[in-house]
Structure 1
Amino acid sequence: MQHSSSEERQSALQYAVQNIENGRFFETLSRRVAYQSESQNPNAMDELANYLSQEILPYLKSMGFVCEIFDNPIAGGPPLLIGQRIEDPALPTLLTYGHGDVTNGQAEQWQEGTHPWQLTQHGDQLFGRGTADNKGQHTINLMALEAVLAAREGTLGYNLKVLFEMSEEVGSKGLERFCEEHKEALGADIFLASDGPRLNAKTPTIFLGSRGVCQFRLRCDTANGARHSGNWGGIITNTAIRLQHALATLVTPHGRLIPDCLRAPQPEGVTAKMMQSLPVGGYPGDPELNANWGETALSVGERLFGCNTLEVIALGAGDIHKPIGAIPDVAEAVCHLRLVPGTDWQNLVTNLSTYLAEQGFDDIDVLYEGGYNATRLDPSHPWVNFVQSSMALSLNENVTVLPNLGGTIPNHCFADVLALPTVWMPHSYPSCKQHAPDEHLLVSVAEQGLAAAAGLFWDLGEHWPAAR
């Protein structure tokens, strides 16, 4: 165990934050943003591999990591990387994580003067694909680690492992199986990583898991083919109408889930109290909230972080841009069930198919397309207080604790497969426009992130959090 003064700790934080002032953070992130690592693009496999081999691996090696790049256990999937920095096998170990893949660039839709593959600063905003999700966030953590190593003259006082994947934006294909197959190499005592947004731009935040997600498709297909709406209208089934009525049995006009098989227990106890006090929305760039949407008896925080919701993310029948006078042969809706612990998500297809049949819609097929389980670390776990206290000391601000993220990240791989206590320290904010044109990172949040991450890496070398 190492011992040092508060002045030495503060020097390490200042060294980390100086990466903003001296331009090194901009230079490094600019280089990483330039990799067109679109995991949704089948032609980007070389870029996905190069991001690990040419960018991340050399950077980790410079900090004393021993790295290895592995094939994805799913054939055709992009590679993964494990880096290990073992100072002493008898010391405790922290596991961290990042992903270098991004969603499609959508270059033609970005505002003038910005581009997905070129880092551009406008005031407090750093524009570029991956700045918020996730290249900017793991760059912050790695630079903070580098600062602490320099301040401690190359010794942390604990072991550190890092896992990088390149398919998070397409469902982390192969990650769960990879963690199963490499449990020993990824073995650790605690987990910390950065992804997703903080509560808002002004509020330092940690979260302890995430809502899960099931993506599924509702499909109505008469096998009639598209037929003239005049010659056949009134005597054959219109798939679009059938699908719309089926959807209406799942969600009320005000967004409340109807079937018991899709619902979960309402928030209670400590987690409910934590959610009730959360201020959600109301900041520049945030969407307008609807007070009459969803579980209106609950607080906004409970509705966002503690409830299941069904979101239709795509809906189609015929061609809306070039319609023809024909009854559509197929109608489909792509849906996300955002779920919290207590949901019977593994039997989604059976339960939902049975429910729809009971409502008279046995002609609607339910096609499961993948998803993650919901996870949530007990807020009383010592690791939670350790991270919260460290961040508060570094930033001289209160730190909000969310029981879980409203969105979904592959936390089940770390919480369930590797059985680790998981805490996430996000360096982005809800209106960062991740997955959309004009994705950006706030410089002010990055500065806080560098200080918070450096403080945490420092404090772990001073005193390890209590076991549970």
Structure 2
Amino acid sequence: MLSENIRRNAEHYVDAGGFGAELARLVGYPTESTTTEGRVAIKAYLDEVLTPALTDLGCTVTEHANPDPAGGPFLVGTRAESPDLPTVLCYGHADVVEGLGSQWSNGRAPWRLTVEGDRWYGRGTADNKGQHLVNLTALRLLLAERGELGFNLTMLFETGEEIGSPGLAEFAATHRELLAADVLLASDGPRLDADTPTLFLGSRGGLGIELDVDLRSDSYHSGNWGGLLRNPATTLAGAVSSLVEGHGRIRVPGLRPPELPEEIRAALAGVQVAASPGDPVPDDGWGEPGLTPAERLYGWNTLEVLSLGAADVDHPVNAIPARAKAVLQLRYVAGTDVDRAAELITGHLAEHGYSMVDVRITGRFAASRTDVGGPWPRWATALLRETTGGNLAVLPNIGGSLPNAVFTDVLGMPALWLPHSYPGCLQHAPDEHLLVPIAREGIVLAAALFDAIGHPPAEHPLPVRGQEVVR
């Protein structure tokens, strides 16, 4: 168990204002990965914030060029204590989404930390600066207490997560030896809710799908030509409903998961979603029948219509439009084969009379997860439940997406994600914030995991090194 001294120091660092002061400095760097100015700020963030932080942990720090010109550099810090000790890989990202400064409310601003009660407002507070600061703080406290970690540490920071992590998989494949570790311990994404510490083991994937019904170059009067000319908007509506019916159930067999495994169903038993104040209420009768809300969100696939339109919907005229388009997204769990998605969708539409609909895949990120029954998840679950007094949610994956597959599939290691945010944090939106109680508890939980890896208690021995990841 984590020593009371480390726990007190962790909580005091937040309560006395030290953590907030550090976070304010980090937020002050406008590290948008989508702008030229942001990339300059990213370079400064690596040089002025992360490199000194890693050096203070006794790490050797190296910066690496991205093999993909669309992405920014990678920063790697390594602290080697002994080849006989386990190695932990940590991950974070320095970039943030667009600040949207004019849209923040009550005088708040994206690049200035604003403290209001138990909320720290600012871009990156939740995604991801506040989260990797929690882990850096926990490691720093352990070193101050013990003088050593008891494990080898590798910390990887990327600078393009918000634009899809370009080059990360290729970089990992090229630098397997540099990034080799027994386990990934990282923090991103949300907890189940604000009050429930959460361990998740992967992420759903995402597939962008564009449907285009481009039938003619001109629009024609709906009175003179209605009933004679195929309407692209009507056709598009029918095509979409053949893919996903009006109550959210996927109709294309190949876009559905093969099954809901019993171990996933067991892991999600009793998990309550949308439990925080202000969360929308899940709609009855929506999505896959026979599944609980948690199973639909964390264990199943969903096909969502992100946009759909023809002509000018705000100023319609009496004419049959020439063209209609829709953008859909498949959120899918590990085990779903999406390599032939375009072919499957095109064939399904043709079978239902919609061969005139063009299908294009616009982007993809992979789904992956570590086996919930694997040795590292079992170890971390037992340790965290003891630390929290039993208050812990264990999720096979989150509903959103992260570059988890880089670690599980490319580097071949189990992945443990300990998030320090919550679903209502407004990440990617104006008024993004981090909750003070979550940061306070998060440092304690992160320190407990790190310390138990370096100094395993008798009741929680580490998994045997070299055990394979079961997926």
TM over 0.5: yes
Alignment of 1:284 with 2:277, yes or no, is yes
Which one-letter code corresponds to 2:113 in the other structure? L
> 3-state DSSP class of the match of 1:346?
coil
Indicate yes or no: 2:4 matched with 1:10. yes
Task: Report the residue type matching 2:446 in the other structure.
Answer: A
Match of 1:373 among 349, 356, 366: 366
Cα pair distance change 1:321/1:383, threshold 3 Å = same
Q: What is the deviation of 1:22?
A: 2.1
**8 Å Cα contact 2:263-2:373 kept in structure 1:** no
Q: Letter of the aligned partner of 1:348 in structure 2?
A: A
Matching residue of 2:427: 434
SS at match of 2:339: helix
Cα offset for 1:234? 5.3
Please name the residue that 2:462 is paired with: 465
Deviation at 1:107, TM superposition (A): 2.1
1:31 corresponds in structure 2 to 25
Answering whether residue 265 of structure 2 is matched by residue 268 of structure 1, we say no
Q: 1:105 aligns with which of 92, 99, 104?
A: 99
Residue 172 of structure 2 is matched in structure 1 by 179
- 2:397 maps to what in 1? 404
Q: Is 1:140 matched up with 2:119?
A: no
What SS does structure 1 have at the residue aligned with 2:20? helix
- The CA deviation at 1:341 is 2.2
After superposition, the CA RMSD in angstroms is: 2.0
- Give 3-state SS (helix, strand or coil) of 2:381's partner: helix
Name the counterpart of 1:3.
none
Q: Is the 8 A contact 1:276 1:300 kept in 2?
A: no
Instruction: Report if aligned partners of 1:171, 1:370 keep a CA contact under 8 Å in 2.
Output: no
Range 192-201 or range 30-39, more displaced: 30-39
- Letter of the 1:200 partner, please give it: D
Determine whether 1:364 maps to 2:347: no
For residues 159 and 382 of structure 1, the distance between their equivalents in structure 2, rounded to whole angstroms, comes to 20
Corresponding residue of 2:159: 166
Relative distance call for 1:51 and 1:329 in structure 2 (3 A) is: farther
| Residues 205 and 368, structure 2, Cα contact 8 Å, conserved in 1 | yes
Q: Which moved more, 1:263-272 or 1:447-456?
A: 263-272
- Please, which of 69, 72, 95 is the counterpart of residue 89 of structure 2? 95
Find the counterpart in structure 2 of residue 72 from structure 1: 66
Moved more, 379-388 or 64-73: 379-388
Distance 1:39 1:222, change over 3 A: farther
Is the CA contact (8 Å cut-off) linking 1:395 and 1:451 kept in structure 2?
A: no
Contact 2:408 / 2:415 at 8 angstroms: preserved in 1? Answer: yes
**Distance apart, 1:309 and its partner CA:** 0.3
Distance in 1, matches of 2:417 and 2:92, equals 11
User: Within 5 A, what are the aligned runs for 1:9-408?
Assistant: 9-41=3-35, 43-153=37-147, 155-225=148-218, 235-321=228-314, 327-408=320-401
What percentage of aligned pairs have identical amino acids? 44
**C-alpha contact 2:205 2:365 (8 A) present in aligned 1:** yes
Q: What's the TM-score, normalizing by structure 1?
A: 0.93
Q: Which moved more, 1:230-239 or 1:47-56?
A: 230-239
Report the Cα offset of residue 76 of structure 1: 3.5
3-state SS in 2 of match to 1:345:
coil
Q: Distance in 2 between matches of 1:57 and 1:228?
A: 65
Cα deviation code 1:176-216 (max 9, x no counterpart): 11111111110111111011111111111101111111122
Q: 390-399 vs 335-344, which deviates more?
A: 390-399
Choose from 415, 419, 425 the match for 2:412.
419
Paired residues of 2:282 and 2:293 also in contact (CA < 8 A): no
Partner of 2:240, secondary structure, is helix
For each residue in 1:237-289, what CA deviation from the matched residue of structure 2 results, as whole angstroms up to 9, or x when unmatched? 43333222211111111111111011112313121122132111232021121
Q: Is the 8 A contact 1:390 1:452 kept in 2?
A: no
Instruction: State the shift of 1:339 in Å.
Output: 0.6
Q: Please give the TM-score of this superposition, normalised by the length of structure 2.
A: 0.92
Q: Aligned partners of 2:299, 2:12: CA distance in 1, in Å?
A: 38
Of stretches 319-328 and 74-83 in structure 1, the one that deviates more from structure 2 is: 319-328
Return the alpha-carbon distance in structure 1 between the equivalents of residues 19 and 106 of structure 2. Answer: 24
Q: Deviations over 1:42-82 (max 9, x none)?
A: 55321233222222112111211111111111113211111
CA distance 1:89–1:122, shift in 2 (3 Å): same
Q: CA deviation at 1:385?
A: 2.5
TM-superposed deviation, 1:231:
7.0
Query: Aligned pair in 2 of structure 1 residues 430, 23: CA closer, same or farther (>3 Å)?
Result: same
Tell me if structure 2 keeps the 8 A contact 1:99–1:135.
yes
Do the aligned residues in 1 keep the contact of 2:212 with 2:326 (CA within 8 Å)? yes
The structural deviation recorded for 1:134 is 1.1
Alpha-carbon distance in structure 2 between the residues aligned to 1:173 and 1:284: 36
Amino acid at match of 2:45: Y
Q: 1:46 corresponds to which letter in structure 2?
A: V
Residue of structure 2 equivalent to 1:448: 441
Supply the distance in 1 between the matched residues of 2:183 and 2:396 (Cα, whole angstroms). Answer: 17
Change (3 A) 1:191 1:321: same
Contact 2:32/2:96 (<8 A) preserved? yes
Q: Is the 8 A contact 2:192 2:198 kept in 1?
A: yes
Q: Using a 3 Å threshold, how does the CA distance of structure 1 residues 358 and 87 change in structure 2: closer, same or farther?
A: same
Q: What SS does the corresponding residue of 1:214 show, helix, strand or coil?
A: strand
Superposed displacement of residue 172, structure 1? 1.1
CA contact (8 A) 1:137 1:427 kept: yes
Q: Distance in 1 between matches of 2:167 and 2:188?
A: 19
The separation in 2 between residues aligned to 1:39 and 1:319, in whole angstroms, is 32
**Structure 2: which amino acid aligns with 1:431?**
G
